[in-house]
Structure 1
Amino acid sequence: MIIVLIGYMGSGKSTIGKELATVLNCSFLDLDDYISDKENTSISNLFKTKGEIYFRKKETEYLKELINTSEPLVLALGGGTPCYGSNMDLLTGNTNVVSFYLKLSIPLLEKRLFKEREKRPLISHLNTEADLLEFIGKHLFERTQYYSKSQFTLKTDHKTQQEILEDLVAHLV
């Protein structure tokens, strides 16, 4: 089984994914890290040198590779991955994949992301909390239609990591 975690940046996909993989005694991969390793460069450098179209093609190629593996895996997608090409169809059409949308409210996303925006190229130019809040709101409006195609949606507001893990595991049994 491949467990795929979907959600906006800052929603906890990588943090929860690592813990879930430990609980399930399987591997964890972050798709962006996997792409960086395979392409031998950072995602931001890949965008700069080869462009977004190249990146999106590689993203789909590596996503197909990972979801067609026979090894159990917890996979955290980039926030934009479900929104491009046929990526969500690849996930929903694969009986080996269970997908979860980790849904965090816009105010809580803003609170998490404002502190770490320098590390995130997509939002590093936003200097006020109000600008970030507006950006996230617009972005989520566009992306929610894709995220909502996940098999399960878990609302994670005000939940501990342990509670989120328990929710995930309960859906898998």
Structure 2
Amino acid sequence: MNFFLLGYMGSGKSYIGKELAKVSKHQFLDLDREIEEREGLSISEIFDKNGEIYFRKAERKLLEEVLNSGDSRVISLGGGTPCYGDNLEIIKKNENSTTIYLKLKVENLTERLFKEKDHRPLISHLKDKEKLEEFIRKHLFERGFYYNQSEHIINCDNKSKEDLVTEIIDKLG
């Protein structure tokens, strides 16, 4: 079984995913990190050098590899992965996959991301919390349609890593 973690940047997909993989004895795969490793470039460098369409094609190719591999994994998707093309549909149609949306309030995402915005190219240009919050609200409005199609929605606000992993495992049965 593949467990796909969806959510906005800063929602904890990689952080929670690693722990969930450990506890469930699955492999862990961070889709963005794997693309970076294969390309030898950071995501922002891939966008700058080759463009978003190139990145989305690489992302789709890797997603198809994962779905066809037969391995059991916890997969952290990029924040935009389920929102492009029919990526979410092919995940949902795969009988060995389940989707989990790690949901946080905008205010909590803003607090988390403001501390690390200099390391996130998509938001590094936003100089104050108000602009960042506005940016996140707009993105979540656009992406919410996709995220909310997940089989499991986990409210991550004010919960420890351990509590979240336990809640996810309980939901998965």
Runs of 4+ with >2 A deviation: none
Report the counterpart of residue 63 of structure 1 in structure 2: 63
Q: Which moved more, 1:8-17 or 1:147-156?
A: 147-156
What does residue 123 of structure 2 align with? 123
TM-score (norm 2): 0.98
Summarize the alignment of residues 118-157 of structure 1 with structure 2, pairs less than 5 Å apart.
118-157=118-157
Partner of 2:12: 12
How far 1:67 sits from its partner (Å)? 2.0
Cα RMSD (Å): 0.8
- Cα deviation digits, residues 24-75 of structure 1 (max 9, x gap): 1121111001111122221111111110011111111111111222111000
Give the AA of the match of 2:162.
Answer: Q
CA distance in 1, matches of 2:50, 2:142: 25
Aligned to 2:40: 40
| Residues 59-104 of structure 1 deviation map (CA, whole Å, 9 limit, x = unaligned) | 1111111122211100000101111011100111111101100000
Query: For the residues of structure 2 that align with 1:67 and 1:126, how far apart are their CA atoms?
Result: 36
Aligned to 2:84: 84
Q: Given the alignment of the two structures, is residue 51 of structure 1 paired with residue 51 of structure 2, yes or no?
A: yes
Percent identity for Structure 1 against Structure 2? 49
- Aligned residue identity for 1:20: L
**Any stretches of 5+ residues in structure 1 without a counterpart?**
none
Consecutive unaligned residues of structure 2, counting only runs of 5 or more, are: none
Q: Which moves more between the two structures, 104-113 or 35-44?
A: 35-44
Q: Secondary structure at the match of 1:134?
A: helix
The alignment of Structure 1 onto Structure 2 pairs a total of residues equal to 173
Worse-matched range after superposition: 154-163 or 6-15: 154-163
Shift of 1:141: 0.3
The amino acid that maps onto 1:171 is: K
Determine the C-alpha separation between the residues in 2 that align with 1:32 and 1:21.
Answer: 17
Q: What is the CA distance between 1:112 and its match in structure 2?
A: 0.2
Which runs of structure 2 are paired with 1:106-117 in the superposition (5 Å)? 106-117=106-117
Q: Structure 2 CA distance, aligned partners of 1:3 and 1:124?
A: 30
